[in-house]
Structure 1
């Protein structure tokens, strides 16, 4: 049996070092230029402590904006201009074997999840493998930590029915753990210790994950062809959904993720990301290297590691195995939270988990890029509180005659040179903030196959406008939610890691106001203060203030079933799968299995109950 179809060497260490140095120079240069510009803007009439604090907050709030911009800019350039984009960022993919050789465990850890959804996704993956003739040497493990007796009984009954109906019941396994020590990571580790020696790989699915058999087979064949590859992450995209919020969010995420991931893969190389699901893991090195420590202290920052994925990736890389992402769209999906409160809850869970990395980042044993990945995960959430503090300090300065009052404001307008500098900086920062999605839309417009998959240029443009407005309104509310939570972590605030709400539901206005009263109050207070004390600044602050004031009605509107139906009828923010069941793959596909085919794509995230 042939082991490798086409061998392709990965970039040399010297070339990867050069790429990483170039990326670091681009990021540091852009960050420095933005910070110096802000300092110049604030120090026109001298620099006091308040203006120094403003500059520091600005500098600390923008690293992830700059990094995201350059990732997406590089990724867009590769997608549009490289002769073979996949070879540019993932040449290891050409080493995929023609036939899968290792035994595969498909594992899904669950905790009080909707039983219908769990079995729809898991049985769909198995049926897809069977239809394509790819299920040989695959076994399935449903790993339950459920504590609700009714849910557990339903899991057992549905699993028994599945085994009875399946032609190969011995390949199906259900295990219930009496407690959920270590949460999801502990659930998976229990599987690794119990069954890990029986399999070469595990493919990890979450309860909201959906993968085709072809996508699973593709990951494992690439792993087979690259013996030093420890974790291979697929590019998961959002499933079509009835909820207006989920529909619009997945549209923007899908376009932004492709360009961002391709650009990041260009410089991260063998030290790439792991997102904890829709990925293939080589079990032997995982068992040897990736047991997670219990952090000293009490939650929220102590105890069991919650966001396990990036820590496991860093440990795998420290053990000498590669962690890579395969930036190819097709066959790998996940459901999006259906409403603003559900998204906030999920995001704050990630925030708490990522902040635990503060205890891990300095530990011995990690490689440099592993520490970089952990640092980036922390920076994802530190930008928001510094940006909010920047705006609050700026408001205070304006009200007390600081940099945007007094000598800089004459006859209700800013001094012209200062205003020009400020406007240029504002435009640049807004451009970089929205660049991942804007460049993703640009790529979709210029790539004929991708453009047709979304129904043509007009469909892409209308969806892009809808999503950009959506993001502009939504972002300020998330900034405040993240800021309050990060600050609360220092005082022991925590979130409970419970099962997520994945079904669509209407959020009443009263509940929206109760949950987002602080955003509303900050927006109204800021608008009144600027109107009275610094009206010249009001147009600059208007996008943020409008988003804060509209947070509650936005939450209600985007959860309303009528909004979802309206977007669907108009064809706004529709994915290729929703349009015709097609699949868009701009990057060159891997050599196909001789009998591959029969993709079983969930047409939409059903079970999306609208109340």
Structure 2
């Protein structure tokens, strides 16, 4: 391996650039604070009908807790849209360290591709890696990479499948790229412990590591651009890609990833404008400089007892904060395409994934003062916001409950002032949907951009229906988060299990068993509104509609037949279906709108030669 001499260099930045960045952050913070105060002022004004009592104060406090993510998302979207419209290269303007996509510079570093798995579909893991290796081999750089499949699996049938499939992969690419399979019999630290074990065993042999999840898929062009960027920028510690959902025939996943595709670009570009060198790390599809990661990013085991102690589940944001504290930059490459993942195919799977994140983010509250010492201010706020993201859910639920209960307290006259209430509703809805509206406006301004979503008609219909879908989803998720947080306070922990990524149905009984609290909440809301609701209650009622329909949404959106239907008619079509990259065409040939090429993916009857297996 040829080691890069420049990798020992520490971070550097021109003083004038640092001054400009400080002003950016102050400007952004000022916009967020002023907007928050304006929203709170409208809320107080709305509640002035009949005086202002302790219940009104409780409503204002709950509303204040819900605002940070909403307001920050709004200004990220506004800034992102301005940059998208005014800059010839938005990604380069907010991440100036990026190497050019067509950079011919030879790759001289060694990169480990880590596929971290736990009781996953081994065939999917091998298929994705096989396609990625194929592209790296075509680019003539496969010898600069090494594949590590790092397993924490515990199910015997899964372990047997992993050994078979990874053995096949190693034999298929023997002499082209090295493939190592390692399974831990014990898995302390979960994924973070898995990666730390790799660092201790093989970290010294490589310059970078590209962390992948079981469902990750990345194009060679994207990987090589990232590697060249880290080679050229010794001050860069982590480079995170934007991940988009692979085409899906799930009626739940399609609107979700369509909405993410709409909101992600403007949001990420705007966030990168002020976060800059203190950006986020989302745990996978990111390239990491190994030496500082090994030296500075080992996570602590949290003291105490209960579900918030022990190994940290949400390791990624802490590792980003630790890397920035060590003086290395953490940046997002805000480019759509070239980095994919699978989205949960059902509402129940989506909730299960979110609750794991919820518990992991709440663990940040257990970090000691010494563990937080020296963190960059932006990193500190990212950790706080990660906690607030989930604390906002019980605040929303309480806000809706108290808000609707006040309508039946026997007061004379209006409960809320209609004029400021209407203005507040428009403001909040505008901020909530701002990231999506920004991308919609940007796409509608260009015929080529409209065609990437299947045309202007499909874009508009898909956007409107997705917004309705997201409004119905919001109370379902808020109630799920609230109940889980209540359980955490009583010592209940999440069960660490594999994600079901293939399209499958949900039985009515299973949906009722998991979503009965949402249903009861919705029933109560509608009964109360039917008895006491003034006309202004229409503003509140959508929250209870989503809760009431939780079970029908879970069952219907998981129906394979409905998923195939919406995929066939092109509802919630994404650019990866209209203009699929070769990798996507190979992995999802039946779901892309473009003409698919024949696939040479391995069949079910795979050979079983020996691979390098490390105990």
Judge same fold: TM > 0.5, yes or no. yes
| 2:604 maps to 1:604 | no
Contact 1:128 1:600 in 2 (8 A): no
User: RMSD over aligned Cα, in angstroms?
Assistant: 2.3
Contact 1:578 1:604 in 2 (8 A): no
1:380 to 375, 379, 389: 389
1:79 to 81, 84, 109: 84
Greater Cα shift, 455-464 or 313-322: 455-464
CA distance in 2: counterparts of 1:162 and 1:322, whole angstroms? 35
CA distance in 2: counterparts of 1:317 and 1:435, whole angstroms? 29
CA distance in 1: counterparts of 2:529 and 2:584, whole angstroms? 55
1:15 to 15, 20, 30: 20
CA distance in 1: counterparts of 2:332 and 2:73, whole angstroms? 17
Residue of structure 1 in register with 2:407 after alignment: 398
CA distance in 1: counterparts of 2:15 and 2:281, whole angstroms? 20
Greater Cα shift, 74-83 or 284-293: 74-83
Q: How does 1:478-497 map to 2 (within 5 A)?
A: 478-497=477-496
Q: What secondary structure, in the 3-state scheme, does the structure 2 residue paired with 1:407 have?
A: coil
**Per-residue CA distance 1:405-435 (angstroms, 9 max, x = gap):** 42326xxxx6xxx201101101111111121
Q: What secondary structure, in the 3-state scheme, does the structure 1 residue paired with 2:340 have?
A: strand
Greater Cα shift, 129-138 or 521-530: 129-138
| 2:469 maps to 1:463 | no
Please report how far the alpha carbon of residue 492 of structure 1 lies from its aligned counterpart in structure 2 after TM superposition. 1.1
Residues 3 and 260 (structure 1), Cα distance of their counterparts in 2 relative to 1, 3 Å cut: farther
Greater Cα shift, 375-384 or 40-49: 40-49
Residue of structure 1 in register with 2:602 after alignment: none
| 2:37 maps to 1:32 | yes
| 2:166 maps to 1:167 | no
Contact 1:102 1:200 in 2 (8 A): yes
| 2:379 maps to 1:370 | yes
Please report how far the alpha carbon of residue 509 of structure 1 lies from its aligned counterpart in structure 2 after TM superposition. 2.1
Residues 460 and 534 (structure 1), Cα distance of their counterparts in 2 relative to 1, 3 Å cut: closer
Please report how far the alpha carbon of residue 220 of structure 1 lies from its aligned counterpart in structure 2 after TM superposition. 0.7
CA distance in 1: counterparts of 2:86 and 2:134, whole angstroms? 38
Please report how far the alpha carbon of residue 606 of structure 1 lies from its aligned counterpart in structure 2 after TM superposition. 8.6
CA distance in 1: counterparts of 2:564 and 2:543, whole angstroms? 28
Contact 2:216 2:342 in 1 (8 A): yes
**Per-residue CA distance 1:99-120 (angstroms, 9 max, x = gap):** 2221110011111111111111
Residue of structure 2 in register with 1:567 after alignment: 566
| 2:179 maps to 1:180 | no
Residue of structure 2 in register with 1:93 after alignment: 98
Residue of structure 1 in register with 2:199 after alignment: 192
Q: How does 1:116-515 map to 2 (within 5 A)?
A: 116-168=123-175, 171-360=178-367, 362=369, 363-401=372-410, 405-408=411-414, 418-515=417-514
**Per-residue CA distance 1:67-95 (angstroms, 9 max, x = gap):** 11111111111111223323321111147
Please report how far the alpha carbon of residue 605 of structure 1 lies from its aligned counterpart in structure 2 after TM superposition. 9.4
Contact 2:242 2:339 in 1 (8 A): yes
CA distance in 2: counterparts of 1:541 and 1:29, whole angstroms? 25
Please report how far the alpha carbon of residue 510 of structure 1 lies from its aligned counterpart in structure 2 after TM superposition. 2.4
Residue of structure 1 in register with 2:64 after alignment: 59
Residues 241 and 264 (structure 1), Cα distance of their counterparts in 2 relative to 1, 3 Å cut: same
CA distance in 1: counterparts of 2:566 and 2:319, whole angstroms? 40
**Per-residue CA distance 1:52-74 (angstroms, 9 max, x = gap):** 11111111111111111111111
Structure 1 stretches of 4+ with a deviation exceeding 6 A read 1-4, 8-11
Please report how far the alpha carbon of residue 210 of structure 1 lies from its aligned counterpart in structure 2 after TM superposition. 0.6
Please report how far the alpha carbon of residue 361 of structure 1 lies from its aligned counterpart in structure 2 after TM superposition. 7.2
Contact 1:57 1:389 in 2 (8 A): yes
Q: What secondary structure, in the 3-state scheme, does the structure 1 residue paired with 2:98 have?
A: helix
Residue of structure 1 in register with 2:544 after alignment: 545
Q: What secondary structure, in the 3-state scheme, does the structure 2 residue paired with 1:243 have?
A: coil
CA distance in 1: counterparts of 2:119 and 2:455, whole angstroms? 41
Please report how far the alpha carbon of residue 461 of structure 1 lies from its aligned counterpart in structure 2 after TM superposition. 1.1
Please report how far the alpha carbon of residue 455 of structure 1 lies from its aligned counterpart in structure 2 after TM superposition. 2.2
CA distance in 2: counterparts of 1:446 and 1:162, whole angstroms? 45
CA distance in 2: counterparts of 1:9 and 1:453, whole angstroms? 39
Residue of structure 2 in register with 1:585 after alignment: none
Residue of structure 2 in register with 1:43 after alignment: 48
Please report how far the alpha carbon of residue 602 of structure 1 lies from its aligned counterpart in structure 2 after TM superposition. 4.7
Contact 1:103 1:201 in 2 (8 A): yes
Please report how far the alpha carbon of residue 237 of structure 1 lies from its aligned counterpart in structure 2 after TM superposition. 0.6
Greater Cα shift, 354-363 or 192-201: 354-363
CA distance in 1: counterparts of 2:260 and 2:91, whole angstroms? 21
CA distance in 1: counterparts of 2:579 and 2:331, whole angstroms? 31
Contact 1:127 1:600 in 2 (8 A): no
Contact 1:241 1:605 in 2 (8 A): no
Residues 265 and 447 (structure 1), Cα distance of their counterparts in 2 relative to 1, 3 Å cut: farther
CA distance in 2: counterparts of 1:285 and 1:601, whole angstroms? 37
Please report how far the alpha carbon of residue 374 of structure 1 lies from its aligned counterpart in structure 2 after TM superposition. 0.7
Contact 1:125 1:600 in 2 (8 A): no
Residues 214 and 559 (structure 1), Cα distance of their counterparts in 2 relative to 1, 3 Å cut: same
Please report how far the alpha carbon of residue 550 of structure 1 lies from its aligned counterpart in structure 2 after TM superposition. 1.0
**Per-residue CA distance 1:379-424 (angstroms, 9 max, x = gap):** 11111111111111122222213xxx42326xxxx6xxx2011011
CA distance in 1: counterparts of 2:25 and 2:262, whole angstroms? 24
Q: What secondary structure, in the 3-state scheme, does the structure 1 residue paired with 2:540 have?
A: helix
CA distance in 2: counterparts of 1:475 and 1:501, whole angstroms? 22
Unaligned 5+ segments in structure 1 are 583-597
Contact 1:80 1:447 in 2 (8 A): no
CA distance in 2: counterparts of 1:430 and 1:504, whole angstroms? 32
CA distance in 2: counterparts of 1:541 and 1:137, whole angstroms? 57
With normalisation by structure 1, the TM-score equals: 0.91
CA distance in 2: counterparts of 1:284 and 1:600, whole angstroms? 33
